[in-house]
Amino acid sequence: MEESTTRAAPKSGRREPGQLGRLVLYYAGLILLTVIFVAPLLWMLSTSFKTNVEATQLPPNWIPEEFTTESYSKIFKTGESQTPVLRWFLNSMVAASAHTVLVLVTASMAAYALARMNFPGRRILFATIIGTLFIPTFVFIMPNYLIVDTFGWLDTLLAVIVPGAAGAFGVFFLRQFFLSMPHELEEAALIDGASRLQIFLRIILPLSKAPLATLAVLSFLTNWNDFLWPVYVLFSPKSLTLPPGLSILQNAYTTDYAVVMAGGVVASIPVLLVFILAQKYVIQGVSRSGLKG
Amino acid sequence: MAPYLVLFGIFILFPVFYGIWISLHNWDYLLPGKPWVGLQNYVDLFTPGSTTFEPFWQSMEATGKFTLYSVPLLVVIPLLVALILNERFPGRTFFRVIYFAPYVLGVAVIGILWRYLLDTNVGLVNYYLGQLRLPNNIPWSNELPWAWVTLVGSTVWWTLGFNAVIYLAGLQDIDPALYDAAKVDGANRWRRFLHVTLPGLRPILLFVITVTILASANVFGQAYLITEGAPSDETKPAIWYIADQGLRTFKMGSAAAMSYVLALFLAVISVANFALFRYRED
């Protein structure tokens, strides 16, 4: 992985004598932490393939003795159900994807205008947008509930897709990136008679794949996991997304942990997949947000 | 530009003022009339004996306690983890991904999972405590102080990786030459941490503390799913009470007033935080 050991003078000289003991201690600590983080997730997965009896049996079986998918068939059964988990899964998929597209389109355009175009009031506008980043989100709950209600969006996916896309983070994040791009590219295109829109679509966006990917992944994860807002704006079983759905599932199957864990697995797999495939973008996005602070 | 501005105007800019407007009325969603009451909703919050006084401040106390217990842990433990991950060793990307993984799961998954793990009778935590000859009947979700341990513990497990990644980025920004210089001066590991690492992390530390306080003040899902506010609403945090007040009993004027009071609290804490860091810099 690291090449440092082969260098003549190891950087900052971390290879000191007597390191073996420390190294063993190190890995022991790392592995203990790994167990703490991974075991609960494996337990959730394992339980979801157990019978309800085995799920509440002690001492625990880490590997199901009687492997069964009955919990999954319970939550996936179609027809009239108070807990249509498959429907919630589709709702979450639609909501998170639509939300992500909306964020990418609107935020990239706004960020480009704020970074590159001169128009009266640009500075004040930018300051206002950034200023709202400091307002805690719970302040918006009451007014946005009434606004969403006015549009007739309560209990529909639009309520969880649209309002969140107004947040200033994406604009702020992309503007930083656009500002760092060299002007020369655009100037050459302007001289050739390209319009601003053409420049944006043909030059800027193709060069911004990494930040756009980061923003896309973060938006998807945030929307998929959002809990409080959907708990209050979605009511009927068929219109829920997974997070409020899991809460309903927990109440409907209080003693049937195998079913509840199966719901948890269904809600976890897409985000874990996204994370594993795009971990570079997720972690970069998070650490960059810190460096701005 | 325009499409974003429409969204921004409707769902961010307008609501800030609309919320204040609502908070100045007796705004009951179910009733046709919404009489103007001026500052009455705010006055009620500070008048002992009013209908909202008692439950509102109890929920504020719950959020305050949660913040007080969780923030120190979420500032210190991720720093230790980040220091470990900052060393060069094979597989560190792997460990970083593992420790971050719980964060990408939503609070709903965290909630149902930990409720099961902490079940008094069939939960793994009590079982393994029993194996270690420790008490194995701890009522994690419905008695104090255990309910706090549960909420804080599950939150640390969930968000540790997030803060650790931010610290890690900060650590990698510190000039290695500073460490070498300190070594030449004979500084041991601890002194290097104290005199090179900590000062180098100052801005990151401020960021982490501020963001963690804000996040902790937003606590909702863990309590909603694991403790359900038990015992007797003592772990029912402010956001939950406010949302219920506004969107379950539909007293939106009063709920809006509460959200501004809570926001003001947070603003004061953040400003104090910044001032403290600036003061220490001088």
Work out the pLDDT band at A289, boundaries 50, 70, 90.
low
State mean pLDDT over A200-205.
Answer: 87
Nearest CB to A227: which of B8, B114, B220?
B220
User: Which residues, 6+ apart, have CB-to-CB distance to B244 below 8 Å?
Assistant: none
CB A293 within 8 A of CB A176: no
The residue of B5, B6, B7 whose CB has the most chain A CBs within 10 angstroms, and thus the best one to mutate to test that interface, is: B7
Work out the pLDDT band at A188, boundaries 50, 70, 90.
confident
In total, the C-beta contacts within 8 angstroms joining chain A to chain B are: 271
- Write down the pTM of the prediction: 0.89
Tokens of B192: 């290097």
Place of tokens 């921004």: B8
- Nearest-Cα distance to chain B for A114, in Å, is 8
Please, which contacts does A179-187 make with residues 24 or more away whose CB atoms are closer than 8 Å? A179/A115, A181/A207, A181/A208, A186/A116
Strand partners, B150: none
| Cβ–Cβ gap A286/B166 under 8 Å | yes
Q: What does each of the 282 residues of chain B score in pLDDT, given as a tens digit?
A: 678 888 888 888 888 888 888 888 888 877 777 788 878 889 888 888 888 888 999 999 999 999 999 999 999 999 999 988 888 777 888 888 899 999 999 999 999 999 999 998 888 999 999 999 898 888 888 888 999 999 999 999 999 999 999 999 889 888 888 888 888 888 888 888 888 888 888 888 998 999 999 999 999 999 999 999 888 888 999 999 999 998 998 889 999 999 999 999 999 998 998 888 877 665
Taking phi first (over 0 means left), then psi (-120 to 50 degrees means alpha), and beta for anything else, what does residue B94 get? alpha
- Nearest-Cα distance to chain A for B142, in Å, is 15
CB A79 within 8 A of CB A232: no
| Cβ–Cβ gap A283/B87 under 8 Å | no
| Cβ–Cβ gap B203/A289 under 8 Å | no
Residues of A within 8 A of B101 (CB-CB) are 37-38, 41, 272, 275
Q: What interface predicted TM-score (ipTM) does this complex get?
A: 0.90
C-alpha B277, offset from chain centre: 20
The residue of B5, B6, B8 whose CB has the most chain A CBs within 10 angstroms, and thus the best one to mutate to test that interface, is: B8
Query: Closest-CA residue in chain A for B9?
Result: A166
Residues of A within 8 A of B259 (CB-CB) are 138-139, 141-142
- Nearest-Cα distance to chain B for A174, in Å, is 13
Residues B185, A12: Cα–Cα separation, whole Å: 14
Using only C-alpha atoms, chain A has a radius of gyration, in whole angstroms, of 25
pLDDT at B117: 93
Digit-coded pLDDT (tens) for A63-98: 998 899 999 988 888 666 778 899 999 999 999 999
Residues B14, B34: Cα–Cα separation, whole Å: 19
List the one residue out of B230, B226, B224, B235 whose CA is nearest residue B115.
Answer: B226
Options 1.10.10.10, 3.40.50.80, 1.10.3720.10, 1.20.1250.20; CATH of B32-281:
1.10.3720.10
- Nearest-Cα distance to chain B for A73, in Å, is 19
Q: Which alpha helices (DSSP H) does B87-123 contain, by range?
A: 92-104, 107-117
Place of tokens 């393994």: B128
Tokens of B72: 């120190």
Q: Which domains does chain A have, with CATH numbers?
A: 19-76 (no CATH), 85-292 (1.10.3720.10)
Residues of A within 8 A of B11 (CB-CB) are 140, 144, 147, 162-163, 165-166
Residue A292, pLDDT > 70, answer no
| Cβ–Cβ gap A167/B224 under 8 Å | no
Nearest CB to B247: which of A145, A243, A247?
A145
pLDDT at A293: 38
- φ, ψ for residue B25, nearest 5 deg: -125, 160
Q: Using alpha carbons only, what angle is made at residue B172 by residues B157 and A173, rounded to the nearest 5 degrees?
A: 75
Residues A72, A68: Cα–Cα separation, whole Å: 9
The residue of A23, A137, A138 whose CB has the most chain B CBs within 10 angstroms, and thus the best one to mutate to test that interface, is: A138
Residues of A within 8 A of B93 (CB-CB) are 1
Tokens of B10: 């409707």
Nearest CB to B3: which of A44, A106, A260?
A106
Work out the pLDDT band at A291, boundaries 50, 70, 90.
low
- φ, ψ for residue B28, nearest 5 deg: -100, 120
| Cβ–Cβ gap A109/B3 under 8 Å | yes
Strand partners, B28: B251
Query: Closest-CA residue in chain B for A59?
Result: B127
Work out the pLDDT band at A12, boundaries 50, 70, 90.
very low
pLDDT at B92: 81
User: Which residues, 6+ apart, have CB-to-CB distance to B53 below 8 Å?
Assistant: B44, B45, B46, B47
- Nearest-Cα distance to chain B for A24, in Å, is 12
Q: Using alpha carbons only, what angle is made at residue A92 by residues A91 and A97, rounded to the nearest 5 degrees?
A: 105
Helix (H) / strand (E) element for A182: namely none
List the one residue out of B219, B88, B69, B86 whose CA is nearest residue B165.
Answer: B86
Burial label for B104, CB within 10 Å (0-12, 13-18, 19+), is: buried
Measure the CA dihedral A239/A241/A243/A244, to 10°. -10
| Cβ–Cβ gap B165/A286 under 8 Å | yes
C-alpha distances (whole Å) from A17 to each of A13, A20, A22, B179, B252 are 11, 8, 10, 18, 67
10 Å Cβ neighbour count for B102? 24
**Exposure of A276 in the CB half-sphere (CA atoms within 13 A):** 7
Residue A101, pLDDT > 60, answer yes
- φ, ψ for residue B172, nearest 5 deg: -75, -15
